[in-house]
Structure 1
């Protein structure tokens, strides 16, 4: 095991070298009796060898602030995540600092400069690129960190919080297939995000389960926002053989698809079914109310806030990846294809 210094040795790395689970190392650290003497001796020897020391509270949970960092804030789902973080912040009597770095290195550097000038009890990144220099600096500052819907794979000791995106993509596709649809268009989210790729993979798995292959002309690239949903749906509807249903991998893109359908003088779901992903509050108020996959956005924010505060108090996080369940919510935008 290669480490830069003792302070950067993680409980996960210790477990890997000892050939045991992370919970077993945690039990040794906490003096639990439910560990065999041989295992305890092996783990303790590796802990001593690498000078492992638990995170201490030092000056933690003293700043009274959690930093919440988004790539952009112009989305209703950002509000839902903020709501979850705020619930934890309010209950513990601390504040929340919300920032947007807009995918710009200069913005990220400015944010980090501002962070160095003050204290924080933890940082939560949301669908933002956690670049190696940024990650290294946060580690150097010993700031607890969690990532919601990571763009890539963060450091092994960074807890990540997401949803069961693959299962959600699968359930939406299977729902449309069960109604009789066989040509199902898909509007994908940003390729750089793991959640986008997982939803696309779930869509493909649903088709495969019905003996269907992915048709590249039925897939349009979007960015989770209304405009790309409208453009993607318009391109799908312009095909010589248009789909009978569209699965948009965000509610906002599904709302954009509604507009494309309307502009062509068509109706949802009479002429084409539409399914989204998120279950934003407004999805039930659209006309017709949107069938969608519920992503527990507020709960994801809540769990991320609890996680960084636990780390700030010196606790080891035994599960590096949290995935909260998605759920298909069937409303009025999906129906059997016309003439079926």
Structure 2
């Protein structure tokens, strides 16, 4: 070969390991698609391999096959779900992970594997999933056990229940959100404040209810059981609860609704009775989805960081898949009161 040749030495796995600052066995795991490597470490090795132009020997797998997680909803079309989905998929793009969106299997009219928790978990494992994220769904202990037996990491977002304390979850500060929403209405002079809540068994809904009650008790107001209602986080439920609240002998002058869609149902119930929001009735929602800003009037809400909750859930799942330990199994991101046009001082206080 001529002495002036600029032919570069072929990169070796040892060179990749040195450039990435990892051991040779760790670099080998990444190149061979092993899942037991931390996400940040995997990215460093992959980047070093690309920069060095490393080509695996014939017969050895190329750099990491596609990494995939399942994202499962009980409601695929709600604005809440879309915002969480946006957060999960963006975090997936940043970490080189594909996201497959699914719904909770019901077993009815579905393939045989969907009829049992074990069948569901084993199918996901056989498909090479890194783990599963489940959003606002009610889990059974049998399902959690099945994921454990299949060594399939699980993270839940805003769970309706937690069958075991060691289930990893991501949520928001629901109690402080309920507290701040009710305190806002109290500061506007409202004393009869209704609560249009979520399902009785929903942990997030119960936390919002406890925040509502704590604010009333702090203001020396005894919570009125007739002003506390529960239903699904939905527009029809909000319409029904709003109608019931406004039909009471002493109707509320304000309502704290446990979701944006519930709040919009309450607003419609007020409209049907000839009441104006916020002149005759103040309404506060919870979530701050796109519906809150598109509503007329625009909703005052407690904003929970749905996008960030999705991002945190995906990154937490990857840490579990890599065998890393977590500082806490339960993460709560901060909520924030956002005042818009659906709340105003009580008549007589203006």
- TM-score > 0.5, shorter chain as reference: yes
Distance, in Å, in 1 between the alignment partners of 2:339 and 2:307 is 20
- Which secondary structure state, in structure 2, belongs to the residue aligned with residue 337 of structure 1? coil
Distance, in Å, in 1 between the alignment partners of 2:76 and 2:222 is 36
What is the match of residue 321 of structure 1?
A: 330
Contact 2:154 2:168 in 1 (8 A): yes
Contact 1:63 1:120 in 2 (8 A): no
Of residues 187-196 and 130-139 in structure 1, the stretch that sits farther from structure 2 once superposed is: 130-139
Match of 1:280 among 289, 294, 298: 289
Contact 2:79 2:291 in 1 (8 A): no
What is the match of residue 186 of structure 1?
A: 195
What is the match of residue 11 of structure 2?
A: none
With over 3 angstroms needed to count, the CA separation of the structure-2 counterparts of 1:174 and 1:331, relative to structure 1, is same
Residue 75 (1) aligns with residue 48 (2): no
Contact 2:192 2:253 in 1 (8 A): yes
Distance, in Å, in 2 between the alignment partners of 1:223 and 1:331 is 25
- Which secondary structure state, in structure 1, belongs to the residue aligned with residue 130 of structure 2? coil
Distance, in Å, in 2 between the alignment partners of 1:272 and 1:241 is 13
Task: Report the TM-score when normalising by structure 1.
Answer: 0.79
Task: Report the TM-score when normalising by structure 2.
Answer: 0.77
Residue 124 (1) aligns with residue 133 (2): yes
Match of 1:330 among 328, 339, 343: 339
Residue 254 (1) aligns with residue 263 (2): yes
What is the match of residue 271 of structure 1?
A: 280
What is the match of residue 64 of structure 1?
A: 67
Q: Rg: which structure is higher?
A: 2
Q: How far does residue 154 in structure 1 lie from its aligned partner after superposition?
A: 4.3
Distance, in Å, in 1 between the alignment partners of 2:317 and 2:209 is 30
- Which secondary structure state, in structure 2, belongs to the residue aligned with residue 121 of structure 1? strand
> CA-to-partner distance for each residue in 1:212-256, whole Å, 9 max, x for gaps?
111011112221100000110111111111100011110001111
Residue 231 (1) aligns with residue 240 (2): yes
What is the match of residue 27 of structure 2?
A: none
Distance, in Å, in 2 between the alignment partners of 1:330 and 1:207 is 20
- Which secondary structure state, in structure 2, belongs to the residue aligned with residue 207 of structure 1? helix
Q: How far does residue 186 in structure 1 lie from its aligned partner after superposition?
A: 0.6
Distance, in Å, in 2 between the alignment partners of 1:131 and 1:143 is 16
Of residues 189-198 and 64-73 in structure 1, the stretch that sits farther from structure 2 once superposed is: 64-73
Residue 152 (1) aligns with residue 161 (2): yes
- Which secondary structure state, in structure 2, belongs to the residue aligned with residue 80 of structure 1? helix
What is the match of residue 40 of structure 1?
A: none
- Which secondary structure state, in structure 2, belongs to the residue aligned with residue 316 of structure 1? coil
What 5-or-longer segments of structure 2 have no aligned partner?
Answer: 1-34, 43-63, 109-113
Aligned residue-pair number: 284
What is the match of residue 4 of structure 2?
A: none
Contact 1:163 1:326 in 2 (8 A): yes
Residue 294 (1) aligns with residue 306 (2): no
Residue 203 (1) aligns with residue 212 (2): yes
Which protein, 1 or 2, shows the higher relative CO under an 8 Å CA cutoff with sep ≥ 6? 1
Q: How far does residue 130 in structure 1 lie from its aligned partner after superposition?
A: 2.5
Contact 2:125 2:152 in 1 (8 A): no
What 5-or-longer segments of structure 1 have no aligned partner?
Answer: 1-54
Contact 1:84 1:298 in 2 (8 A): yes
With over 3 angstroms needed to count, the CA separation of the structure-2 counterparts of 1:204 and 1:62, relative to structure 1, is farther
- Which secondary structure state, in structure 2, belongs to the residue aligned with residue 269 of structure 1? coil
With over 3 angstroms needed to count, the CA separation of the structure-2 counterparts of 1:288 and 1:108, relative to structure 1, is farther
